[in-house]
Structure 1
Amino acid sequence: MSAQDRYRYKGDDDGFGRKSSTVWTVSKPSNDERHYPYNEAINLAGNGRYSIGLMATLSMAALAMAIDMFGFSVIVTGATCDFQLDLSQTNILLSMPFVGPIAMAYPWGYIADTKGRKTSLLIAMWGSFIVSVASAFAPNWVFMAVMKFISTSFCSCAQSVTYTLLGESSSETFRDSYMLIMTSVLDFSLAVYVVAAYFILNLPFSLNFGFITFTPWRLLTLVLALPLGISAMGMHFFYESPKFLVNAGRTEEAIEVLKNIWYRNGGYGGKYAVKKIFLEEEGNEKHKDQSLLQSLWDQIVPIFKPPLLTRSIQLYFLTAVIYSTNNSYFMWFPFLAEKFTSGLTSNTTDVEQIDGLCNTIVSVAANVTVHAKCSTAMEVSLVWASLAEGVSFVIVLLAITKFARRKKLLLTIILVVSCFSAIGAVTVMENMISFILFFGLLLNELCIGFIFSYFVDLYPTSYRGMAACLGVMVARASALGGVNILGAFMLSHCSITFYGCAAMLFCAILVTSMLPPDKRKKEIGL
């Protein structure tokens, strides 16, 4: 049976309430033709070197994206003296990593769903690497801001498409565990760029190249760009998502990819059993003779119409809550960590004289304002605190990979812990306990992997990339709003912001309760 024969003509109704005469959707053929549903076909491809290698490469891409976006903060710190940055210029620079992903979320979703997951990642990671390297030679802060906007516009693709490609290329047995492992690598990004900054920014060298003076922050920029290039190079050794290929009507190519995955996973001897595949999904469409604008429109409209509308609202709301609360408070982590750790290792009683987290935040802000000076040095206390944060998050995520299929339950537990930690952080006056509770609030970052795995599970292949990339846009817009709105009220209404954060997390718990129930083992053929 030809590729076209595997599509069923739907006549007037395209399945989303629109009248059309050019819509084709995947139809299940008769049982006697030995067609395999895609989930069974990818399960038969097994798990081995290819699957683990793909997970490692995509994890590197996700880590590179996080370092490029959030590691920019330490680069700006290093460039402060060279460019004589004032507060407004610093704020503009630090906003660029959030603005870029917002601007490019829709185009990346369209490219991922129409041109391929691997194709979009190759363009994104190579583009970001080249621009990041160029930013190391920025002659002024304006050029550096523009380069960071472009760089993060590219690499933001990795936030969502890595999960999509990994989810579509892994067997159901290991899929959720792999996504959690990838998220754990992502959570280690703070430790990576802080440790690199500590060793590089403290180097005493300055090289005059004529058009610029090459100082440690420029070397740090080049070092932090390396993961982008490494992940881009690694992507060339892996295949396009076979599920995307099937959905695009390239079934023979998809079967060939699955055979190669099976072989590289250790399928020696015998032969791969799958000869024909079909998708057990509603909502996948194939349009012909469309204009670009019509194609763009048709790619996004179904996400915000029944039956996907409810899921879109739920997942985007959860994304907004997680990123707005986490990012707005995470910006205080380095300052608070440095103050508390220095207090533990010194003989002074400065930390003990200040009771409560909010009073400590006000004290830290006052000290930063009063003692502000041009310095690129980084304290070792921040390095230890960052390593502790990264290792803790990784241990927690790796510990729960055994229960990875219980997404809804784990998501609820993490949100509950984060919610009560937000309340406890400002009601407990003992400093170390309040800081530990503050750390507990930041645990909601662990929800990111679960949310993006829902984008893979709940959306048809035709719209999965778009839905996830729009999730990135919501995430970055929420983070930018959280940092600027909640952050602005932190000093004047500290306790209220924490209680407001707890209320948002409580609403997220209620929304989580309405997500689909977790799959049982027998539902995925285990």
Structure 2
Amino acid sequence: MNRGGEIVPVSVISDGKVLRGRDETDEEEPADFEKAIVAAGWGKFHIIVYLLSITCGWSSVFETTTMSYVFPAAECDLNLKLEHKGLLNAVTYIGMISSGFFWGYLCDTLGRKKVLVAGYFLDGLFMLLAATSQNFPILMTAKFFGGFIINGPFSALTSYLSELHCAKQRGQVQMVLGVIFSIAFLVLPLLAILVLPLDFKYVISENFVIHPWNIYLFISAAVPLTSAISFIFLPESPKFLMTTGRNEKALQVFRKIYRLNTGKPESSYPVKVLVDEIAINQSKNHGKMTANRTKKEALIEGWSQLKPLFKRPYLPKILFVCFIQFFSMTSLNTLRLWLPQLFQAVNDYQQFHDESAPLCDMMSVFKVNTNETEDILQSSAECVVNTNNYSVYTNSMVVAAVSIGSYIVASGFINRIGKKHLYSFLGICSGSMALSLYFSRNVVTTLTLASLFVGTGSVMVNTLLAVIVDIFPTTLRTISVALAMMCGRTGAASGNIIFPLLLEAGCAPPFFFVGISSIGCALLGFLLPNTELKPLQ
């Protein structure tokens, strides 16, 4: 626009009409998200986001897994019986299951950043409550609300990272997240080795005593609190801003990404105009989203926004991905959460017999030790914590290291063979490893098969999340991820209830149950849509 001989740039408006940049005389062609994010490049900004996401990924793992290492150290202090341990493991997943829809709805209506900051801050507070617990009821309450809270930021993180990448790069986002999660599984046993064997008791008052396991949980609580602080300094997802009609703010984010990635000034960012996604989404029946909404208006619109998820074409898709995610996570997390118990059986067998044996024989020793432990807790005998569990921790670290390697290898193949084919291939591999555990004849074979099972199974689950991100539009993306994970965690909780019952029936049923579930999901995976290089909606 020319005023008195001076060229004045016209600001961006959401409808994409008659918008010109400085020194431009022709109308600018509006750019969609894919064009805008490609123009912003890939570089320093994305590396910073990934580094800040490390503690975010760890928070989810810490919330679900820390108790596996705390139980042996805290069972005397809290008078924990086996049923208490089962409840503490289950209550975190119950919290997650109960909040799946709630958090996905908030994230798709209020934004990714708000959920990430508030969610991780609240999770850190409940982890601090767990760390200060002096009895079972308080610990139980803290773990329930911790599970309820962590479901939100987990789904938000998945969507946030995917919405900072173009179609060609999005498949690798889940692989990077997988590496972050696997590193957390490596950090937990390492931290346990350093903290839990310590022999001290700091008495603050008669009813408040600090033990090593309290310190272990205090350190864990620092992880989500760090995540909350980190995301305060990051921008909102530009894709979400475009979907809610805030194109000018979205363009500002794109410019900042461009400046950090290229080192060039923001004014040289080539995209000047963004398309009107509100009109596009309404025409495609993706739900109504209004620009410059108040929080109340956003919540009201959110209910109408979710309607497309419960009718065609999205209803059959969400039902299908929830179904296979249910059995995928049933397979993975049932056996994964029981691995420390299996490694404990291996450790006890070797201490008692000074030799290796088939896995089924070593598991029979675990059953005997479990009954003896219950008898001690029910009697007046002195409760003594066994700290000679280094082999359990080191075996867990080996499993985590193999998982990291699995994600690194998979990241090199995901764009070559496609997400759905990778999912099916890994499901067959994971199921085969689980079936083979029944035939394991020594410790080395058991550890190898268990590591490969967890490695391939973990990549399998995260690959399905990458497909879900591509299938659903921005206004339904996080709620879809949250619902899929809610179903998956329901499967995980159910599997952990069923597993000991199958174990009582014999050595073969639990491993065949896990293996067949994984292979069945792999076969169904061939029915997933092909989303390779598909632009974000």
Shorter-chain TM-score bucket reads 0.7 to 0.9
2:242 counterpart residue number: 246
Contact between 1:200 and 1:217, CA under 8 Å: does it hold in 2?
Answer: yes
Contact between 2:348 and 2:365, CA under 8 Å: does it hold in 1?
Answer: no
Specify the code of the residue in structure 1 equivalent to 2:356. Answer: V
1:112 counterpart residue number: 107
Structure 1 residues 341 and 392, CA gap change in structure 2 (3 angstroms):
farther
3-state SS in 2 of match to 1:306: coil
- Paired positions, count: 495
1:492 counterpart residue number: 505
Q: 2: CA distance between counterparts of 1:139 and 1:92?
A: 17
Deviation at 1:220, TM superposition (A): 0.9
1:26 counterpart residue number: none
214, 222, 225: which one aligns with 2:210: 214
3-state SS in 1 of match to 2:37: helix
Structure 1 residues 261 and 4, CA gap change in structure 2 (3 angstroms):
closer
- Whether 2:519 is the aligned partner of 1:509: answer no
Specify the code of the residue in structure 2 equivalent to 1:416. Answer: I
3-state SS in 1 of match to 2:262: coil
Deviation at 1:177, TM superposition (A): 2.1
Deviation at 1:385, TM superposition (A): 0.7
- Whether 2:77 is the aligned partner of 1:82: answer yes
Matches within 5 A, 1:457-496: 457-496=470-509
3-state SS in 2 of match to 1:209: strand
3-state SS in 1 of match to 2:465: helix
- Whether 2:334 is the aligned partner of 1:328: answer yes
After the TM superposition, which of the residue ranges 187-196 and 381-390 deviates more from structure 2? 187-196
1:295-338 alpha-carbon deviations (Å, 9 max, x no partner): 45434442232111232123212211121111211233113334
Q: Any gaps of 5 or more consecutive residues in structure 1?
A: 8-30
Q: 1: CA distance between counterparts of 2:172 and 2:180?
A: 13
Contact between 2:201 and 2:209, CA under 8 Å: does it hold in 1?
Answer: yes
Q: 2: CA distance between counterparts of 1:363 and 1:402?
A: 42
Specify the code of the residue in structure 1 equivalent to 2:363. Answer: I
1:58 counterpart residue number: 53
Deviation at 1:459, TM superposition (A): 0.5
Q: 2: CA distance between counterparts of 1:399 and 1:220?
A: 32
Deviation at 1:341, TM superposition (A): 6.2
Structure 1 residues 204 and 433, CA gap change in structure 2 (3 angstroms):
closer
Matches within 5 A, 1:108-187: 108-187=103-182
- Whether 2:273 is the aligned partner of 1:271: answer no
174, 197, 203: which one aligns with 2:198: 203
After the TM superposition, which of the residue ranges 477-486 and 147-156 deviates more from structure 2? 147-156
1:22 counterpart residue number: none
Matches within 5 A, 1:289-304: 295=301, 297-304=303-310
- Whether 2:455 is the aligned partner of 1:440: answer no
1:483-514 alpha-carbon deviations (Å, 9 max, x no partner): 00233222214313332333322321222101
Contact between 1:300 and 1:463, CA under 8 Å: does it hold in 2?
Answer: yes
Superposed CA RMSD in Å reads 2.7
Contact between 2:398 and 2:451, CA under 8 Å: does it hold in 1?
Answer: no
315, 318, 321: which one aligns with 1:315: 321
Specify the code of the residue in structure 2 equivalent to 1:410. Answer: L
Specify the code of the residue in structure 2 equivalent to 1:196. Answer: L
Structure 1 residues 402 and 504, CA gap change in structure 2 (3 angstroms):
same
After the TM superposition, which of the residue ranges 201-210 and 285-294 deviates more from structure 2? 285-294
After the TM superposition, which of the residue ranges 295-304 and 488-497 deviates more from structure 2? 295-304
Specify the code of the residue in structure 1 equivalent to 2:318. Answer: S
Contact between 1:55 and 1:178, CA under 8 Å: does it hold in 2?
Answer: no
Contact between 2:334 and 2:514, CA under 8 Å: does it hold in 1?
Answer: no
218, 223, 226: which one aligns with 1:227: 223
Contact between 1:412 and 1:509, CA under 8 Å: does it hold in 2?
Answer: yes
2:3 counterpart residue number: none
Q: 1: CA distance between counterparts of 2:230 and 2:299?
A: 33
TM-score by length of 1: 0.87
Structure 1 residues 159 and 212, CA gap change in structure 2 (3 angstroms):
same
Structure 1 residues 168 and 87, CA gap change in structure 2 (3 angstroms):
same
2:423 counterpart residue number: 411
1:338-391 alpha-carbon deviations (Å, 9 max, x no partner): 4446777x7945533xx3x33432332222322565416251112211111111
1:233-292 alpha-carbon deviations (Å, 9 max, x no partner): 111221100000000011111111111111122341561111222247634322579988
- Whether 2:356 is the aligned partner of 1:351: answer yes
Deviation at 1:42, TM superposition (A): 0.7
Q: 1: CA distance between counterparts of 2:273 and 2:144?
A: 44
Contact between 2:123 and 2:149, CA under 8 Å: does it hold in 1?
Answer: yes
Q: Any gaps of 5 or more consecutive residues in structure 2?
A: 1-10, 18-25, 375-382
TM-score by length of 2: 0.85
Specify the code of the residue in structure 1 equivalent to 2:230. Answer: G
Q: 2: CA distance between counterparts of 1:218 and 1:72?
A: 11
| Percentage of matched positions with identical amino acids | 21
After the TM superposition, which of the residue ranges 162-171 and 298-307 deviates more from structure 2? 298-307
